[in-house]
Amino acid sequence: MNRNEQIVLVTGATGYIGSQVVRALHRALGDAVRIRALVRDSSNTALLEGLPVEFIRGDVMNPVSLRDACVSVDTVFHCAGLVAYTWNFRHRLYDINVTGTANIVNACLESGVRRMVHTSSVAAVGVRENGRPADEGTAFMDWQRRISYMESKHLAEMEARRGIAEGLDVVMVNPGVVIGRVGGPQTVTNSATETVAAIYRGTVPVYPSGGLSFVDIGDVARAHLAAWEHGERGERYIVVSENMSYSELFGMIRDLPGSSGRRAFEAGRPLSVLAGAGGELFSLFTGGKSHISLEGMRLARKKLYYSNARSVGSLGMRYRPVREIVASIACGGDKE
């Protein structure tokens, strides 16, 4: 099948990552492919406004709608997913991330979809101790199974691998902490980007003792296309720019022109537990997601670092430096 006949389906197409995958597809290929966007009845499609996209009503929790959406589709970009760390979201994490992935895998198999690009996460990858970067082959650890989000992304990958065993060509993209402003008619961020902006304003007085791997939202979208074009069946590709401790991140943001210049201090374990408990209570009583949780604060004491060697070597990825990303966030840039 040549490109002019290809139809691609994007799940989670109105979300932070999915919308940028749609935009990257349109920028790179124009009319060479037809893009279908799976949207729920409640979805806000503003991020896709003005793009030549075919909207298909459906939900990853509705297998019938997925089978209909996959008719004549060559490739599925499965970007739908939930990120949450508070305890009261644990069942929804399993439903959306695990059952939802199982449903789209089944729909792909039943409809003869050629390839699925699965948006996974470094959360599905194992962790090495003492700040040593993990890679795609690092084994998932027992303690990670007690972190609901990590476990859900790990099990989602197991569903993707089941699809491979049953004949589906699947490639997995594993981003780190994704940051950056995105937009169209309106600007959208995620919680990590909002945190960077708050640090710049000087409204975050403390930081945890651990560290994370960061990556620009634009690079994540491009990595999905690179994985589609060049990724090997059954492989993971870790998509990160740099590994950085929270202390280094706060210092970098504090040194940006126009920042508040306020110094933050490292939060000890008691304060971390107290903050996490507060986040859990907020989420429990409001029903909404909290940026702070007990699981999140537990992870924030670890250095969760990852190697991008495979995505650089095999996909040809080149990553935007973290300093450039946070500077753009601080000045309100990158609002396409």
Instruction: Give me the pLDDT at residue 123, please.
Output: 97
Instruction: Give me the pLDDT at residue 2, please.
Output: 47
Instruction: Please state the pTM of the whole predicted model.
Output: 0.92
Q: What angle do CA 150, 155, 158 make, to 5 degrees?
A: 135
Helix, strand, coil shares of the chain, percent, nearest 5, are 45, 20, 35
Q: Residue 283: pLDDT band by 50, 70, 90 thresholds?
A: low
Residue with tokens 């991008």: 308
> Of 35-49, 152-166, 282-296, where does the model show the most confidence?
152-166
Which residues are 119's β-sheet partners? 173
Q: Using CA atoms in the order 187, 238, 90, 59, what is the torsion angle rounded to 10 degrees?
A: 60
Q: What is the mean pLDDT of residues 189-213?
A: 90
Q: Residue 204: pLDDT band by 50, 70, 90 thresholds?
A: confident
Q: Which of 93-97, 143-147, 307-311 has the lowest mean pLDDT?
A: 143-147
Measured CA to CA, the distance from residue 152 to residue 82 in angstroms comes to: 9
Give a three-class secondary structure readout of 113-157.
CCEEEEECCHHHCCCCHHHCCECCCCCCCHHHHHCHHHHHHHHHH
Instruction: Point out the catalytic residue in the list 153, 302, 303, 335.
Output: 153
Active-site annotation holds for 335 = no
* pLDDT more than 70, % of the chain: 89
214: nearest Cα among 135, 61, 83, 323 = 323
38: nearest Cα among 7, 17, 68, 59 = 59
Give DSSP secondary structure letters for 14-58.
TSHHHHHHHHHHHHHHGGGSEEEEEE-TT---GGGTTS-EEEEE-
Q: Which domains does the chain have, with CATH numbers?
A: 7-179+214-241+305-319 (3.40.50.720)
> pLDDT tens for residues 36-89?
999 999 889 989 988 999 999 999 999 999 999 999 999 999 999 999 887 777
Backbone angles phi, psi at 47, to 5 degrees: -70, -15
